[in-house]
Amino acid sequence: MKKIFLIFCVSCTLIVAGEIKIAVAANVSYAIGDLKQAFMRHYPETKVQIILGSSGKLSAQISHGAPFDLFMSANMKYPNTLYEKKIAISKPFVYAQGALAIFSVNTQDYSAGITTLENPHIHKIAIANPRTAPYGVAAKEALENAKLYKKLKDKFVYGESISQTVTYATTAADIGMIAKSSLFSPHMLKYKEGVHWKDVNETLYTPIDQGMVIVKAGEGNAEVKAFYDFMLSTEAQGILKQFGYKVK
């Protein structure tokens, strides 16, 4: 009986003391620290490894066998494709909806909305690469719908991910189209709405539904499922809301 109990205890330790690897779209990098911290209050023995990158590159890595257990994408395209190819084992689920903002470290008059970008004093505009980053797709769509894309194309400085785009917007460019979530990170809180940034009119681009899937590598892993369920919890959704996301 003691032997059976010992085996049970060892098994439980293995269940609650494992490691999970989560591929996370760059826009979520600003919220993932708080999300991870909240999760680990419930599962203190679980080691959570976060791998950040553009959704396109992370999806390609997963397709080529990268051992990620769970994928949090910046849009539904990539998790849907992984699911169709049976590389992801859970049906893609929208865990949050992202938003675009225009941002500058310098004071701007944002009363004209997105057409602020036409200001002749603006020479470089940071946007995410539409080929690799869903926020780049949204930025391009917004600019096209505002009849600005062709006019401003020569001024674009492309970031391979939205986090790199934020870096460019604060250093190498005069202004940028960035993820609204980045503005709620500690080092960006000093910038004020209406002074340094403004929401991009949401009617100009398709809603940025952010999708999550469990990947084959995480199949049967109770801790991966626990993190997946946590992301759908009221607690996690509240954290995402604090970072400017729309949640259900």
CA–CA distance from 64 to each of 16, 34, 132, 218, 219 (Å)? 29, 30, 16, 15, 17
Q: What would the two tokens of residue 39 be?
A: 């999760």
Domain 2-97+209-242 belongs in CATH node 2.102.10.10: no
Say which residue the tokens 């200001």 belong to: 119
Strand partners, 72: 24, 212
Query: What digits encode the pLDDT tens for the residues 10-35?
Result: 344 344 458 999 999 989 999 999 99
Domain 98-204 belongs in CATH node 2.60.40.10: no
Query: What digits encode the pLDDT tens for the residues 166-180?
Result: 999 999 999 999 999
Query: What digits encode the pLDDT tens for the residues 180-230?
Result: 999 999 999 999 999 999 999 999 999 999 999 999 999 999 999 999 999
Query: What digits encode the pLDDT tens for the residues 49-96?
Result: 999 998 999 999 999 999 999 999 999 999 999 999 999 999 999 999
Residue extent(s) of CATH 3.40.190.10 domains in the chain:
2-97+209-242, 98-204
pLDDT at position 7, please?
A: 39
SS3 at position 192? coil
**CA atoms of 68 and 77, how far apart (whole Å):** 18
pLDDT at position 17, please?
A: 56
